[in-house]
Amino acid sequence: MSVDRVYSEPHLTFSRFNLTWAVLPTYILHSTFTMEDYKPPALPSPFNNTTPPPTLLTQGAEAHLYKTTSLNPSIPAALKIRPSKPYRHPILDRRLTRARITQEARCLAKLVREGVSVPALLALDWEGHGGQEGGWGGAWLMMEWIEGDVVRVALEKWEAWMKKASLDDEQTQAQEARVRALMRKMGAAIGALHKAGVVHGDLTTSNLMLRPVDTNDTNEVGLDGDVVLIDFGLASQSAQDEDRAVDLYVLERAIASTHPRSEGLAEDLIVGYRDSYKGAPSALKRLEDVRLRGRKRSMLG
C-alpha cells in the first residue's frame, strides 16, 4: 500500500516514503482509517510551536515529510524529519541518524552550488529533540518547496488522457514527441547530477518533479517545465561509472514497470544523458553490463 493513497498531496511525493506491509501499523489496514485517526510523532522544536502547524504529507520507515513555512508564513517549505528509532541503541541511533541527514544535506548543498536543479537547502538540525525536553528526537532538514507534479503523476495523467483521446497518427506522434522531450530533459538532469559527482541511489519517476509552466492549452496534460530531482536520502558522492550506470538502470526499470506506454520512448532518456554529460560514454558502456546482470537475475528468479 502506497502512502500516496492515504495522504492527498500528489505534487510532492518521495518514492522512498512508501509503506510496506512489514512496517505498516495495524490501524492503517482498516478501511475506516482517515487522516484524522493518525497521530504523527511529536515535532522537534521549533516546529512544535509554529502556527499553523506543519502538515504531514508522507510517512515512511525512515523519515516523515511535512509542508511548513520558512521564516515568513507566506514562504512554503518542505520539512523532512528522521525520527529516532526506539529499537536501536541510543548512541548508534544518534550516529546513524546524524550521518544520514548530513550526507543528504551535503549532497543537496553541493548540487545547488553546481547549478543542478534540486530543492535548495534552507536549514538543518542533526540534534533535534522531537518536542521532548532533553530527549533525542532524530534530525531534520528544511528544503525549498517545489510546486508541480512528480513525473510519475504527469505520465499517468498523459497515459490516461491518451486512452480517452481520439487522435490520428500525426496527432499521436506529436503527443509522443512531448514525452520524448520530457525524457531528454530527465536525461539531462541526471547528466548534470552525475557531472557534479553525485549519484542518487533511488531514481524513479516519483523522485523527479516538473515545475509547472503557464500554458494556453488547457486540454493537454502538462509535460513542460524544468525537471527537478528530489529525495536524496540514499544519495552519495561517487565518481564510479558502476554507480552511475545503476542509477540509470533503476530509472529504466521504473519506467518500464510503472509507465508501459512510455517505455518505448525512454530511449530519449539516454540521448539527453549523453548530450549533457561528457563522461556519459563510459557510464553507458557500464550500463550494458548492468542490464545484462539484471536480465540474468530475472531469468534465474
Q: How confident is the model at residue 46 (pLDDT cuts 50, 70, 90)?
A: confident
Report whether pLDDT(30) > 50: no
Residue 249 φ/ψ region, left for φ over 0, alpha for ψ in the -120 to 50 degree band, beta for the rest: alpha
Q: Are 25 and 60 in contact (CB under 8 A)?
A: no
**CA 229 and chain centroid, separation:** 7
Average pLDDT over residues 212-231: 78
* pTM for this predicted structure: 0.80
Q: How far apart are CA 25 and CA 149, in angstroms?
A: 28
Q: Are 68 and 79 in contact (CB under 8 A)?
A: yes
More confident residue, 23 or 58: 58
Q: What angle do CA 238, 78, 28 make, to 5 degrees?
A: 100
105-141 pLDDT, tens digit per residue, is 999 999 999 999 999 999 999 876 544 444 556 899 9
> In the chain, what are the domains?
3-144 (3.30.200.20), 151-300 (1.10.510.10)
Q: How far apart are CA 53 and CA 66, in angstroms?
A: 10
64-106 pLDDT, tens digit per residue, is 999 999 888 888 999 999 988 888 888 898 899 999 999 999 9
pLDDT of residue 74: 84
For the annotated catalytic residues, the residue numbers are: 202
Q: How far apart are CA 7 and CA 62, in angstroms?
A: 17
146-186 pLDDT, tens digit per residue, is 999 999 999 999 988 888 888 888 988 999 999 999 999 99
User: What is the grid cell recorded at 207?
Assistant: 523522485
Q: How far apart are CA 61 and CA 247, in angstroms?
A: 22
Which residues are 59's β-sheet partners?
64
